[in-house]
């Protein structure tokens, strides 16, 4: 349940702020334990990751199921935390299995049983099929995976594009994604150098929004999310200022990237003329757990929906098909220079 709904239902509830420093520290300890089990570990979030245990039977003198059971017990004994484990032959079904029995669950979905298991599930099980997509599918009479299994992939692609292709493959338990350690790209960023130095906070804000949208687009294209937002500024005398802020969960939304970068920018935009501005994200993770909806700010939920709608329009009609008034002004009117 989103936090704003919980507070509406129980206005007197006491909301305790998370101890993110402790979460990060313990998360790293668990990550190191995982790396003792397998060389390929792909973090999904601060408390979730994929492991590729292929070929580790001789190393651990145990089948993967037993290795994971030992791992879960070790975490509970040493850190006093319970672990939910999902074991399967592909990433999609491993994630599904991990969600079947929480907390402290252990579920296995074998390749031989995958088709029949999926046939009994709703389309909401698919990664990337949110409420709006579910409504669209329901209007077409598609509410369960069995219906998707019975359709031709070409028909699904014709109707729903890349989402249709993904559904067609996942419905049959086909997921070719491999484990990515995240080492290939440590950050995603973009920057711009001004023709003339800029000190006007309003102009800098417009540029920051435009750069945030570029970073967001690259994250979405690579199915990544970042947990630390970075602002880079270079003054007229070539001195570089770098500021960053970590978020409680990873994001790929331009709105969250921009708002975080803006808070950093507001502390620096004190009349100093800048010749360069950059926005980036680090601590890259898979986007499967990006931007959870447990937000106190109801406006953030609506802005996220609007951004996804804008993404859909841009995919169909091009990057310039729709934009915010803030960046539209940026393109129509040259930045004010000092």
Q: Active-site positions?
A: 48
332 to 205, 259, 329: CA distances (angstroms): 15, 23, 5
Residues 222, 182 contacting (CB under 8 angstroms): no
């Amino acid at each position: 349940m989103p936090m704003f709904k919980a507070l509406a239902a129980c206005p007197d509830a006491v909301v305790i702020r998370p101890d993110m420093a402790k979460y990060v520290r313990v998360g790293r300890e668990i990550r190191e334990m995982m790396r003792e089990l397998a060389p390929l570990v792909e973090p999904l979030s601060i408390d979730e990751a994929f492991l590729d245990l292929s070929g580790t039977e001789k190393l651990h003198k145990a089948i993967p199921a037993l290795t994971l059971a030992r791992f879960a017990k070790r975490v509970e004994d040493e850190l006093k935390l319970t672990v939910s484990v999902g074991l399967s032959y592909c990433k999609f079904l491993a994630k599904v299995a991990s969600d079947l029995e929480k907390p402290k669950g252990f579920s296995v979905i074998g390749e031989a049983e995958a088709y029949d298991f999926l046939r009994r599930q709703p389309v909401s099980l698919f990664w990337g099929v949110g409420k709006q997509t579910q409504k669209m599918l329901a209007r077409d009479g598609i509410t369960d995976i069995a219906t998707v299994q019975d359709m031709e992939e070409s028909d699904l692609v014709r109707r729903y594009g890349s989402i249709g292709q993904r559904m067609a493959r996942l419905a049959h338990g086909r997921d070719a994604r491999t484990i990515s350690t995240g080492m290939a790209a440590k950050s995603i960023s973009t920057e711009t150098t001004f023709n003339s130095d800029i000190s006007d906070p309003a102009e800098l804000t417009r540029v920051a929004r435009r750069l945030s949208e570029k970073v967001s687009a690259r994250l979405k294209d690579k199915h990544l999310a970042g947990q630390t937002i970075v602002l880079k500024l270079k003054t007229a005398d070539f001195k570089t200022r770098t500021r960053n802020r970590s978020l409680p969960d990873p994001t790929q939304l331009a709105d969250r990237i921009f708002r975080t970068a803006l808070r950093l920018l507001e502390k620096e935009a004190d009349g100093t003329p800048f010749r360069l501005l950059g926005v980036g994200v680090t601590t890259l993770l898979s986007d499967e757990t990006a931007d959870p909806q447990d937000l106190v700010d109801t406006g953030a939920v609506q802005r996220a929906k609007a951004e996804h709608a804008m993404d859909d329009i841009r995919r169909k009609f091009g990057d310039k098909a729709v934009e915010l008034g803030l960046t539209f002004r940026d393109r129509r009117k040259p930045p004010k220079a000092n």
